[in-house]
Structures are given as structure tokens and as C-alpha cells.
Amino acid sequence: MPDTIESPVLEVFSKWGAAVSKITGADNYSMDGSETNASDKKAYAQLYMLGNPITRGDLEGDECATMPSFQVNCFTSGSKALTRVYELDKISHKAMVSMGFRRTYGPEPMFFGDSGIKKLVSRYSRIYTGTLLD
């Protein structure tokens, strides 16, 4: 039976969530891609996996390395929302880099349906061989 590298999504989410919760609060971050969750929050963050394709393997189906990619959406509203969304992105970025990820896109301000809500989008990826860095 071929060796398969386990997806790091839950470990990444756990470490990232511990970092962003310092700004968002305990229940204001998720892996849910739905933006409706951000509407009633002062600060909210989302992390979801875009994919985890194999990058190195052999003809027998063994995986030696994969390349997980994540998107992070940061939302803030209220007083100094623009400043706060960049602060949230900074903490999120530090968490992702500490696990060996590199930003491949962003942070890009995006329009959100409610003009009082500020949104930044960043994407990250890394080569993964089964061990996340701390």
C-alpha cells in the first residue's frame, strides 16, 4: 500500500487559530469559507485550504512531498477598522510563516458588501513532507 502524507489542515488551523484569537476572540475565526459569518463581528478571520497537490512521489504511488495552500481572509469593522485589519493580517502572517509557509498573494484589500467592514486576503503555500515547523 502506498505511503500517503497526511493533510496538515487541522494542525495549521489549530496553530493559526491560537494566534489570531488574540485579536478576534475565541469564537471569531473558522475554516468556513462563508463570508456571512463576518457580518456581525468586530474582528473575524477565516483560514481554508485551497488544495494539497502532490509535488514529489514515485511510480508506486508513494507521496514524498505535497504543497498545501491556504487562503486567509481577515475582517474588521468599527473604529479604526482599516488599521485593525492590517494588525490582524500581521498576526496571521506571523503564525503562517512560523509554520514554514510563505505568502504567495496579498495582503490585498477586497471589497466587502458592507462598506463598514474592511477585508484583506492573503494566500500561503509551502512544501510539506509531514512535519510542520514551530
For 63-72, write each residue's pLDDT tens digit. Answer: 778 899 999 9
Distance CA 81, CA 26 (A): 19
pLDDT at 128: 87
Neighbouring-strand partners of residue 55: none
pLDDT score at 101: 96
Q: What is the pTM for the complete model shown? A: 0.86
Residue 88 carries which side chain, given as an amino acid letter? Answer: L
Residues 29-40, mean pLDDT to the nearest whole number: 72
Alpha carbon 85 to chain centroid, angstroms:
14
**42-61 pLDDT per residue, tens:** 899 999 999 888 777 777 77
- Positive or negative, the Cα torsion across 57, 105, 70, 21? positive
Q: Give me the chain's average pLDDT, please.
A: 86
Model pLDDT, residue 40: 67
pLDDT bucket at 14, cuts 50 / 70 / 90: very high
Residues 6+ apart with CB under 8 A from 82: 76, 118
